[in-house]
Structure 1
């Protein structure tokens, strides 16, 4: 569990560092140029590796028993979580409707996982990431002026986003099955 917490701390710290310590981040960039981005990329990659490995190896400690119907909820809303995650980079006409589509999709993903996983490792992992996404949104809102909303995009861009989301959903489902976690009922 300690490695899971370390991975989460690295994830949260690397993401919030720019906004919590802007002076220090600016000095790093001044000294190292774009090399400072590499340090944060390595820290984030390491955090993901630590989280995945420690989550897979964590002992099962039951905290709560989720209702069985929540699997259906997750199966449906995971497509929305994936679409929200990609919305900020899409050419969808919906892009300008939400200030933090990627973080909103991430929060939805984490929250959905909490509805079907009641073990301690899941509560720590997905609960922390769920809270982090909202903290990140609040910190961004407090530290950066609201940008001009995106006004481009088209219905074709929205359809493309949906198709890509469905393909990614199928890939994610296949990865879950490969890892031995069947995401559908039965």
Structure 2
């Protein structure tokens, strides 16, 4: 479990570094990108290895219908991730679509994963995303909503969201656990 906790803390710390120590991050300049990327990759490896090897136990009973809610929330989460870089008209409606996508992703996974390792992983990333949004809002007062977007951008967003969602679902079915009820 310690590898998982270290991974979540590293991920959060590195992402929050720019907000918590802006002068130090600015001093690093472009040369800081490489080391930061390496630490982020290490944090992902630690989270994956820590999660898969954690000695975990269930904290609550998750009803079967939560799987359907999870799948719907995951579709929304994938759409929110895509929205952040889209040419959709919807982009102007949200300040933090990608971080909101992390929040939705985290909640969706905590609905269906009721063990301690899942709560640490998904709960930790949920806390990070909420803290990141709060710090950005506090520090970046000059935010200007995205202007533009088109109906074609909306359509592309929907299509890409569906394709990515199906790929993620397929990968989950392959490596487990399957997010989709299998006949029976």
TM-score between the two structures when normalised by the length of structure 1: 0.94
Q: 2:137 aligns with which of 127, 134, 141?
A: 141
Q: Which residue of 1 aligns with 2:107?
A: 111
Q: Which residue of 2 aligns with 1:178?
A: 174
Q: Which residue of 2 aligns with 1:10?
A: 10
Q: Which residue of 1 aligns with 2:75?
A: 79
| Alpha-carbon displacement from aligned partner over 1:86-109 (angstroms, at most 9, x marks no partner) | 101000000010000000011100
Residue 159 of structure 1 deviates from its aligned partner by 1.0
Q: Which residue of 1 aligns with 2:96?
A: 100
| Alpha-carbon displacement from aligned partner over 1:4-35 (angstroms, at most 9, x marks no partner) | 01101110000000110111112222xxxx12
Question: Using the alignment, how far apart are the partners of 2:174 and 2:56 within structure 1?
Answer: 20
Question: Using the alignment, how far apart are the partners of 2:28 and 2:74 within structure 1?
Answer: 38
Aligned-residue CA RMSD (Å): 1.0
- Aligned residue for 1:94, secondary structure, equals helix
Q: 2:150 aligns with which of 154, 163, 173?
A: 154
Q: 1:46 aligns with which of 42, 45, 63?
A: 42
TM-score between the two structures when normalised by the length of structure 2: 0.95
Question: Using the alignment, how far apart are the partners of 1:16 and 1:60 within structure 2?
Answer: 28
Residue 150 of structure 1 deviates from its aligned partner by 0.9
Question: Using the alignment, how far apart are the partners of 1:57 and 1:177 within structure 2?
Answer: 20
Residue 146 of structure 1 deviates from its aligned partner by 3.9
Residue 59 of structure 1 deviates from its aligned partner by 2.3
Question: Using the alignment, how far apart are the partners of 2:40 and 2:139 within structure 1?
Answer: 22
- Aligned residue for 1:63, secondary structure, equals coil
- Aligned residue for 2:87, secondary structure, equals coil
Residues matched between the structures, number: 182
Unmatched 5+ residue regions in structure 2? Answer: none
Residue 62 of structure 1 deviates from its aligned partner by 1.0
Question: Using the alignment, how far apart are the partners of 1:59 and 1:184 within structure 2?
Answer: 25
Question: Using the alignment, how far apart are the partners of 2:49 and 2:163 within structure 1?
Answer: 26
Question: Using the alignment, how far apart are the partners of 1:111 and 1:146 within structure 2?
Answer: 30
